[in-house]
A and B are shown apart, each in its own frame.
Chain A
Amino acid sequence: MAEVIKRKRDFHNVSRGWNVVLNIIAGLFAFLCVFPFLFVVIISLTDEKTLARDGYRLLPAKWSLEAYRFVFQTGDMLLRSYGVTILVTLLGTLISLMLISVYAYAISRKSFRYRRFFSVYAILTMLFNGGMIPTYMVVSQLLGLKDTIWALVLPLAVNAFYIMILRTFYSTSVPDAIIESGRIDGAGDFYIFLKIVLPLSLPGLATIGLFSTLGYWNDWFNALLYIENPNLVPLQSMLMRIESSIQFIQQNSQNSSLSMTALQSIPQDTSRMAMVVLATLPIIFAYPFFQRYFVQGLTVGAVKE
């Protein structure tokens, strides 16, 4: 530590030399985290023939928007998948918030006689589960949800971990005194929940809601298990399916202007990457604004009642 002398300005800080080194390391790692996405954007903007000759290049010899033109031309499949994902995400987050918020509230109230029972009932599901195959049997055979939108919504709707986070949130941020005063004024339990507790818990609900939104948006697993109908394929799952064959687009496109001979000239690799870019863009634009909730969620979750 020979730089002691330099520490005149603000002795809290590391020396200027170290600051540069640390900036380079952090900047490099941050860049590495973003780089693959930029690379895929570049690939999607490369001319297909150039790509076949040169491979994936950071600076392609010839740029082209052909891939995006193709994707939008056969866009009904992308649009449908977008539609499915948006519907599932909205419906799922809404249902999920409704179920979780009331359950967590009930088991956070000391006046609820069966709170212990229902706490344990939820917690047990975190400790032991039946696993993939029995769940698959229940969802597909007993509930008959296979190839319905509900197979994408319901399996992710409730999560004991979120219930516990929210329960802690209620018991730390909604004082008992407020609830008691509501009761003295003659308000019923449900009225108190709607008019007093929910408004006070908006930050907690936002956190759970955003975790849930991200979970639904990025889900491909339930589609992999339960969805065969091409009209119900969500975005992430569609990306999986085109991985094996771009002809999937062809078969599922109602656009008859694409003849069989056009099949050979389809920009295969680039349009696949264009799809990846188009599916990722909403997240890229949204997450910088919401990131603090995701940090909060984990810290709230780490500090239990």
Chain B
Amino acid sequence: MVQFFKNLVKNKVMLFMVLPGAIWFFFFSYLPLVGTIVAFKQYRFSREGFWASIAKSEWVGWKNFKFLFTTDDAFIITRNTLLYNIAFIFLGLVLSVAMAILLSELVSKRMAKIYQTGMFLPYFLSWVIVGYFAFSFLSLDRGMLNQILGWFGAEPIQWYSEAKYWPYILILVNLWKAVGYSSVVYLASIMGIDKSLYEAAMIDGASKWQQIRSITIPMLSPIIIIMTLLAVGRIFYADFGLFYQVPRDSGTLYSVTNVIDTYVYRGLKTTGEIGMSTAAGLYQSVVGFVLVMVSNFVVRKIDKDSALF
């Protein structure tokens, strides 16, 4: 015990340094963990505050979960979250690696820099702004797409109430926002590949295409695998902004735009089903945790340095 206090005193400067951050983690990460027990309660808001609200809510056991999984919602939000993320990971990977290789092959490095800067723009914009951009194309009476349809004599489409188009729209918008950034990241590692490899290949008469297939892609594969596995670890988490802002919270589209995160949010702000939404959130955290652990384990096996922990 005395030793413990001696150690505390000896490390006092360092302890003082971690203290503010540690307090932050306590309030913004660890206390909410305690709050997840609401998932097992019939939540009743109490004016006396956080603890009173939790304490005064009645225990209901697994009822919130049972209820959640007997509705269609659980299936729909899980399916949407997973399928969209799989599409984003796969298409995003193919497009951004292709674009990175393409940029690296351009003769004029100045042009490559200019294109890069253009492609990077969407990364810096918020989903609110992107939502407006999408609206300028999809608006029923004024949007560009319906005007183009008009030139061909086609009927205008009510984009914001026709669910069948939204999987494509959401995938397109997400790729538009993400591909530029990740291709610049892949490009950075292509630039790091030893030039003498290409010289040796050229002396052996390898064509450009053969060089890409046998040098560039194999050299990129560690970072490709790691980025992909890290994304797989987050496959149970959806990008709230994309699914909330771009479809403008349109109710008729929920069957294809509702993901776990938007479901939880609506439970909090619209429907008021606090217990069930917390249950959905906890379900996401638990499955998400398992996936992060598994993918991190796989990353560790491949390349210890790139693991998250």
- Which A residues fall within an 8 A CB radius of B? 1, 11-14, 18-19, 22-23, 25-27, 29-34, 36-37, 39-40, 43, 51, 55-58, 98-100, 102-103, 105-107, 109, 111-115, 118, 121-139, 141-143, 154-155, 157-158, 160, 163, 188-190, 193, 214, 217-221, 225, 236-237, 239-240, 243, 269, 272-273, 276, 279-280, 283-284, 287-288, 291, 294-295, 298-299, 302-305
* Chain B, 96-134, CB within 8 A of any chain A CB: 99, 102-103, 105-108, 111-112, 114-133
Q: Which of B30-38, B72-80, B157-165 contacts A (4 or more CB under 8 A)?
A: B30-38
Q: Report whether A218 and B13 are in contact in the complex, using a CB–CB cutoff of 8 Å.
A: no
Number of B residues whose C-beta is below 8 Å from A?
109
9 more CB-based (< 8 A) A-B contacts, given A99-B21, A137-B35: A30-B116, A36-B130, A39-B133, A114-B11, A134-B38, A137-B32, A139-B28, A236-B129, A287-B121
Which one of A51, A118, A128, A188 contacts B18 once the chains associate, using CB atoms below 8 Å? A118
Q: Does B297 contact A (CB under 8 A)?
A: no
Main secondary structure of the interface of B (DSSP, over half): helix
Residue-by-residue, is B283-299 near A (CB-CB < 8 Å gives 1, otherwise 0)?
01100110011000000
Chain A residue with the shortest CB-CB distance to B37: A134
Q: Report whether A129 and B32 are in contact in the complex, using a CB–CB cutoff of 8 Å.
A: yes
* Chain B positions within 8 Å of A154 at CB level: 24, 28
* Chain B positions within 8 Å of A126 at CB level: 292, 308-309
* Chain B, 168-218, CB within 8 A of any chain A CB: 176, 179-181, 184-185, 188-189, 198, 202, 207-209
Q: Report whether B264 and A158 are in contact in the complex, using a CB–CB cutoff of 8 Å.
A: no
* Chain B positions within 8 Å of A237 at CB level: 128
Q: Report whether B11 and A112 are in contact in the complex, using a CB–CB cutoff of 8 Å.
A: yes
Q: Report whether A103 and B17 are in contact in the complex, using a CB–CB cutoff of 8 Å.
A: yes
Q: Report whether B33 and A129 are in contact in the complex, using a CB–CB cutoff of 8 Å.
A: yes
B53 CB to nearest A CB, Å: 6
Cα distance, A114 to B147, chains bound together (Å) = 64
* Chain A positions within 8 Å of B202 at CB level: 11-12
Q: Report whether B126 and A138 are in contact in the complex, using a CB–CB cutoff of 8 Å.
A: no
Q: Report whether B115 and A236 are in contact in the complex, using a CB–CB cutoff of 8 Å.
A: no
Q: Report whether B15 and A294 are in contact in the complex, using a CB–CB cutoff of 8 Å.
A: no
Decide yes or no: A56 and B144 within 8 Å by CB, A26-B106, A236-B126, A283-B124 being known contacts: yes
Q: Report whether A33 and B119 are in contact in the complex, using a CB–CB cutoff of 8 Å.
A: yes
Q: Report whether A218 and B208 are in contact in the complex, using a CB–CB cutoff of 8 Å.
A: no
Q: Report whether A103 and B129 are in contact in the complex, using a CB–CB cutoff of 8 Å.
A: no
Q: Report whether A158 and B21 are in contact in the complex, using a CB–CB cutoff of 8 Å.
A: yes
Which one of A134, A160, A272, A295 contacts B278 once the chains associate, using CB atoms below 8 Å? A134
Q: Does B1 contact A (CB under 8 A)?
A: no
Q: Report whether A288 and B306 are in contact in the complex, using a CB–CB cutoff of 8 Å.
A: no
Which one of B114, B117, B133, B309 contacts A40 once the chains associate, using CB atoms below 8 Å? B133
Q: Report whether A127 and B284 are in contact in the complex, using a CB–CB cutoff of 8 Å.
A: no
Cα distance, A133 to B282, chains bound together (Å) = 10
Which one of A26, A98, A269 contacts B103 once the chains associate, using CB atoms below 8 Å? A26
Q: Report whether B11 and A137 are in contact in the complex, using a CB–CB cutoff of 8 Å.
A: no
Q: Report whether A51 and B142 are in contact in the complex, using a CB–CB cutoff of 8 Å.
A: yes
Q: Report whether B17 and A106 are in contact in the complex, using a CB–CB cutoff of 8 Å.
A: yes
Q: Report whether B132 and A129 are in contact in the complex, using a CB–CB cutoff of 8 Å.
A: no
Q: Report whether A122 and B129 are in contact in the complex, using a CB–CB cutoff of 8 Å.
A: no
Cα distance, A65 to B7, chains bound together (Å) = 68
Decide yes or no: A218 and B24 within 8 Å by CB, A26-B103, A133-B267 being known contacts: no
Q: Does B25 contact A (CB under 8 A)?
A: yes
Cα distance, A105 to B20, chains bound together (Å) = 13
Q: Does B155 contact A (CB under 8 A)?
A: no
Q: Does B14 contact A (CB under 8 A)?
A: yes
A125 CB to nearest B CB, Å: 4
B83 CB to nearest A CB, Å: 22
Cα distance, A249 to B148, chains bound together (Å) = 33
* Chain B positions within 8 Å of A243 at CB level: 131-132, 248
Decide yes or no: A130 and B14 within 8 Å by CB, A143-B27, A163-B21 being known contacts: no
Q: Which of B248, B264, B281 has the most CB of A within 10 A?
A: B281
Q: Report whether A1 and B207 are in contact in the complex, using a CB–CB cutoff of 8 Å.
A: yes
Cα distance, A107 to B17, chains bound together (Å) = 9
Which one of B13, B129, B142 contacts A188 once the chains associate, using CB atoms below 8 Å? B13
Decide yes or no: A43 and B126 within 8 Å by CB, A30-B114, A102-B20 being known contacts: no
* Chain B positions within 8 Å of A125 at CB level: 25, 29-30
Which one of B24, B119, B179 contacts A99 once the chains associate, using CB atoms below 8 Å? B24
Complex A-B: 27 CB contacts under 8 Å = A26-B111, A29-B115, A29-B119, A29-B179, A30-B117, A31-B118, A36-B133, A37-B121, A56-B139, A100-B21, A103-B18, A106-B14, A127-B292, A130-B29, A131-B32, A133-B38, A137-B38, A139-B28, A142-B49, A163-B21, A188-B13, A217-B126, A219-B126, A236-B126, A236-B129, A239-B132, A298-B185
Decide yes or no: A122 and B21 within 8 Å by CB, A134-B278, A283-B125, A304-B306 being known contacts: yes
Q: Report whether B180 and A33 are in contact in the complex, using a CB–CB cutoff of 8 Å.
A: yes
